[in-house]
């Protein structure tokens, strides 16, 4: 069989080897050769470099058909770290992870004003790393993620989509480390891919339910980005051609029916439900949504009907994405599924089982995130780790 080969030890080959070791947990050099299709000398060269850098380590051995035990290789989790910040409306979630995606620290602080962004983020980075007592030389950088402003919105018109990018250079200079800027839903997808040890051979997707709805997709270990790095705007997939108008200019966007904002609006429209849950007294959309979701899972019929209807709309959009990209695995994450995630997962699974185009050829594994509220910040940190130890995945490397 002909072997697929990139430049020996080049970024593509290295990323492939790191991905296989990460997803396997522990694997021998012989197995790496078989799985990757790279030649034995190339595997030997890459593994030698990874061992010398401390990214992987030898750990135990496995039996061989020829009798000689094979030394196993595994990611060295505490050798390097990544830090990720997720900018919310009022707060910022800060997370540090190790090389396997394990969370080693978390903190939620108030959000910095946009006009002081680089200065405040740099100060928070210094305090966060110092507070965790992480060796600064082993922290590979910082990724900052935020929602994409709705197309056609006043935020987009004001340039809110680029203010974080403009702060990137100053922030890099202040902390003396590489900095990545990314959409929060895309980051969440990479975080789930990395921490779940999902194989790069799987076509993987992640749906992020929050005040809006986004998605991220990972193919061959890399995020699918699109022509303008806007791939994954699931919230603006229309599910009703004559539906509710959306700021993006379209009608019937799923975000207008299944986001946290839409669900809260639907609950308020049921006057008695809104009064009973005191939605008027909620301090934010997130607070109001949690009141509805909590009531739903506790058995409140009216609240459950509202959440279930949102889940039905999301399932329609999810099936369209699965059909388009032929996904084999899908994770639901974000604050919108933190409390009532089982309702969404049940509806998405049922709709895929009934309507997915390839359902008779393969199933789609639908899962809930273990840390839905922190998925974007964990994903941000995973961007840093991946760029540091498996370069070659991203067209926008850390600078």
- Helix or strand or coil: residue 145? strand
At 34, list the tokens: 């078989």
List the pLDDT tens digit at each of the 399 positions of the chain. 334 444 445 778 898 999 899 888 899 999 999 999 999 999 999 999 999 999 999 987 776 656 577 899 999 999 999 999 999 888 999 999 999 999 999 999 998 777 788 899 999 999 999 999 999 999 999 999 988 765 544 444 444 456 667 788 889 999 999 999 999 999 999 999 988 888 888 899 999 999 999 999 999 888 988 877 778 899 999 999 999 999 989 999 999 999 999 999 999 999 999 999 999 999 999 999 999 999 999 999 999 999 999 999 999 999 999 999 999 999 999 999 999 999 999 999 999 999 999 999 999 999 999 999 999 999 999 999 999 888 766 545 343
At 164, list the tokens: 């974080």
pLDDT, position 2: 38
Whether 191 and 180 have beta carbons less than 8 Å apart is answered as no
Residue 337: name the closest of 248, 284, 263, 393 by CA: 263
Task: Name the pairing type of β-strands 103-110 and 81-87.
Answer: unpaired
Which pTM was predicted?
0.89
Burial class (CB in 10 A: 0-12, 13-18, 19+), 21: buried
106, β-bridge pairs: 95
Residue 308: name the closest of 240, 237, 258 by CA: 258
Whether 376 and 145 have beta carbons less than 8 Å apart is answered as yes
Whether 380 and 86 have beta carbons less than 8 Å apart is answered as yes
Residue located via tokens 């030389």: 137
Residue located via tokens 């840093």: 384
Whether 41 and 33 have beta carbons less than 8 Å apart is answered as no
pLDDT, position 93: 96
Residue located via tokens 């051995």: 61
Cα gap 42→35, rounded to integer Å: 13
φ, ψ at 343 (rounded to 5°): -65, -45
Helix (H), strand (E), coil (C) string for 152-200: CCHHHHCCCCCHHHHHHHHHHHHHCCCEEEEEHHHHHHHHHHHHCCCCC
pLDDT, position 1: 34
Rg (CA), the chain: 22
97 secondary structure, DSSP code: E
Which residues lie below 8 Å from residue 237, measured CB to CB, with a gap of 6+?
A: 253, 254, 317, 320, 321
Cα gap 259→294, rounded to integer Å: 16
Cα gap 53→140, rounded to integer Å: 13
pLDDT, position 316: 97
Domains, the chain, in order of start with CATH, read 11-75 (1.10.10.10), 81-195+376-389 (3.30.420.40), 204-369 (3.30.420.40)
Neighbours of 301 (CB within 10 A): 10
Cα gap 398→2, rounded to integer Å: 34
Whether 186 and 14 have beta carbons less than 8 Å apart is answered as no
Whether 279 and 300 have beta carbons less than 8 Å apart is answered as no
Whether 314 and 213 have beta carbons less than 8 Å apart is answered as yes
């Amino acid at each position: 069989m002909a072997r697929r080969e990139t430049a020996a030890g080049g970024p593509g080959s290295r990323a492939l080897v790191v991905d296989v070791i990460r997803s396997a947990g522990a694997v021998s050099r012989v197995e790496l050769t078989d799985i990757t299709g790279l030649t034995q000398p190339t595997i030997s060269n890459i593994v030698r470099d990874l061992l010398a850098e401390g990214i992987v380590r030898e750990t135990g051995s496995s039996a061989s058909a020829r009798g000689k035990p094979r030394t196993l290789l595994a990611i060295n989790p505490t050798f390097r770290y990544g830090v990720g910040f997720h900018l919310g409306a009022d707060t910022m979630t800060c997370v540090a992870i190790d090389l396997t995606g394990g969370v080693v620290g978390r903190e939620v602080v108030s959000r910095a004003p946009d006009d002081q962004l680089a200065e405040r983020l740099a100060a928070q980075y210094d305090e966060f790393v110092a507070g965790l007592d992480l060796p600064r030389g082993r922290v590979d950088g910082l990724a900052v993620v935020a929602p994409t402003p709705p197309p056609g919105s006043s935020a987009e018109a004001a340039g809110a989509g680029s203010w974080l990018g403009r702060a990137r250079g100053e922030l890099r200079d202040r902390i003396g480390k590489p900095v990545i800027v990314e959409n929060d839903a895309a980051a969440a997808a990479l975080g789930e891919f990395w921490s779940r040890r999902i194989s790069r051979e799987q076509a993987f997707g992640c749906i992020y339910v929050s005040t809006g709805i986004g998605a991220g997709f990972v193919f061959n270990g890399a995020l699918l980005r699109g022509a303008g790095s806007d791939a994954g705007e699931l919230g603006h997939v229309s599910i009703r051609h004559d539906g509710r108008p959306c700021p993006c200019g379209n009608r019937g966007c799923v975000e207008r029916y299944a986001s946290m904002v839409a669900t809260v609006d639907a609950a308020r429209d049921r006057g008695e439900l809104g009064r009973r849950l005191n939605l008027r007294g909620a301090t934010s959309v997130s607070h109001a949504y949690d009141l509805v979701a909590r009531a739903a899972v506790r058995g409140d019929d009216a609240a459950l009907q509202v959440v279930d209807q949102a889940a039905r709309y999301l399932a329609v959009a999810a099936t369209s994405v699965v059909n388009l990209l032929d996904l084999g695995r899908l994770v639901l994450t974000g604050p919108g599924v933190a409390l009532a995630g089982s309702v969404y997962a049940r509806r998405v699974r049922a709709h895929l089982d009934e309507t997915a185009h390839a359902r008779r050829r393969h199933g789609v594994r639908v899962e809930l995130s273990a840390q839905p509220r922190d998925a974007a910040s964990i994903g941000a940190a995973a961007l840093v780790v991946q760029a540091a130890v498996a370069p070659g995945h991203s067209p926008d490397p850390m600078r």
